Amino acid sequence: MRRLALRATVLLASTLVCLLLAELALRALAPRADRGELYYADAEYREFALQEPLSPETLARAAELIETVPGAPRFRLAFKPNVLVRLCYRGCEGQDGLDARGCVEAQMNSFGVREREELCSAKPAGQRRVVCVGDSTTFGWGVRAEATWPRLAEARLRATDDGLRLVNCGAAGTLVPDEYAHALANRFARFAPDLVLATLCVNDLLPVNGGMSCLDPVKLAARDAPLPGLLGASAFATAIARAFRDDPRAIDPSHDLVAELLALPLERFPEDVRGLGAIFWGSGVPEAALRTMRDWCRERRIPFAVALWPFLQQLETRATHPFRGIHERVAAFCAEEGIPCLDLLDAFVGRTPRELWVTPLDMHGNERAQAIAAERYAAFLAPLLRG
């Protein structure tokens, strides 16, 4: 009996070791999980780039589609009026929201915003407009225009007020709060707003990298890729993944990361945002920009409101989210300044981050995330529009 038990134990151990080695071998031989790398293309799907190194052909193509924003607080590029560009993702052909080549269209109107052309015209009688300023989260990066939160929130609000329109001015040469304030006064005022809504994101306010997360997207893509091999998504395969993959989500939630970032000297900013200078929260620049927009609206008797979009990571609870501190600071500031504020973090708490991303390498909110946000935006705006 003892010999039989020993043989069974040896057999089980040998089987587990063989399965482990097979799984590791298949993982090693599997293609890298780099699906979702962003590139740009024109209307004819010809690729172009916005950063060095640029070939003469690529540079010429970009010059046809991109221009500088005159008078902006700093050097800023924007898509030209009336151009159609495509945001494309390698390896994502046919994914939900993307076409057969893995692309989504971004059509600019004659004023250079991703919006319906009629909203550039004089406002007709009976129509009211909410001018939505912000960055890529408002633009709807990687998402079809009809699936962006401004369009979805508008549809909800028009159920009771068909004269209402939300004007999407996101990422139209504006990426941080002082640029929103400048553009509102000098460019977006032409839309005749009845309410102005400024949506901020964490990377508007903190010196993190220019992406939509402080995570390493390459490691994240590898961690969240489907597990190939004999074991598929079994518990055993999951255990292997946890043991052998780096987990870039491991930001200790008890550590005050926000306070540390706010105290970071300029020379220690991430390289891709260092050129912006000391413009983040606590410098006084975004705070002054919000006051400027509020005061501009007050002079015209227009309501002004702020929304804050979170990084879509570590969403198990609010307490596990490493950037909750900036949400709390912005909410407190808005309360002191008499600015209505929508904190979108709670809309995403309890959800699985990777189900909310455009791709594992582009952690902008996908169509599902945009729809979740749109519901909150509509509920937030409704009483402000009633006065």
d(CA 360, CA 197): 29
Q: Encode pLDDT of 208-259 as tens digits.
A: 876 777 655 555 455 544 444 433 344 444 443 343 334 444 578 888 999 9
CATH second-level architecture of 38-214+251-386?
3-Layer(aba) Sandwich (3.40)
Asked whether the predicted pLDDT for residue 115 surpasses 80, the reply is yes
Asked whether the predicted pLDDT for residue 28 surpasses 90, the reply is no
Domain boundaries, the chain: 38-214+251-386
Asked whether the predicted pLDDT for residue 19 surpasses 70, the reply is no
**Listed residue (223, 215, 212, 216) closest to 32, CA to CA:** 223
Q: What is the pLDDT of residue 192?
A: 97
d(CA 248, CA 289): 33
* Of 31 and 278, the one with more pLDDT: 278
Q: Would you place residue 348 in the very low, low, confident or very high pLDDT band (cuts 50, 70, 90)?
A: very high
Q: What is the pLDDT of residue 247?
A: 43
H/E stretch holding 326 reads: helix 324-337
Q: What is the pLDDT of residue 271?
A: 87
Q: What is the pLDDT of residue 174?
A: 96
Q: What is the pLDDT of residue 267?
A: 93
Asked whether the predicted pLDDT for residue 8 surpasses 60, the reply is no
Q: What is the pLDDT of residue 54?
A: 56
Q: Would you place residue 158 in the very low, low, confident or very high pLDDT band (cuts 50, 70, 90)?
A: very high
**Relative orientation angle of helices 149-157 and 367-386, to the nearest 10 degrees:** 40
Q: What is the pLDDT of residue 62?
A: 83
Find the mean pLDDT for residues 62-73: 91
Lowest mean pLDDT, pick from 22-31, 115-124, 293-302: 22-31
Give the torsion sign (CA, 93, 99, 104, 108): positive
Asked whether the predicted pLDDT for residue 319 surpasses 60, the reply is yes
Q: What is the pLDDT of residue 345?
A: 98
Looking at every residue in the chain, the average pLDDT score rounds to 85
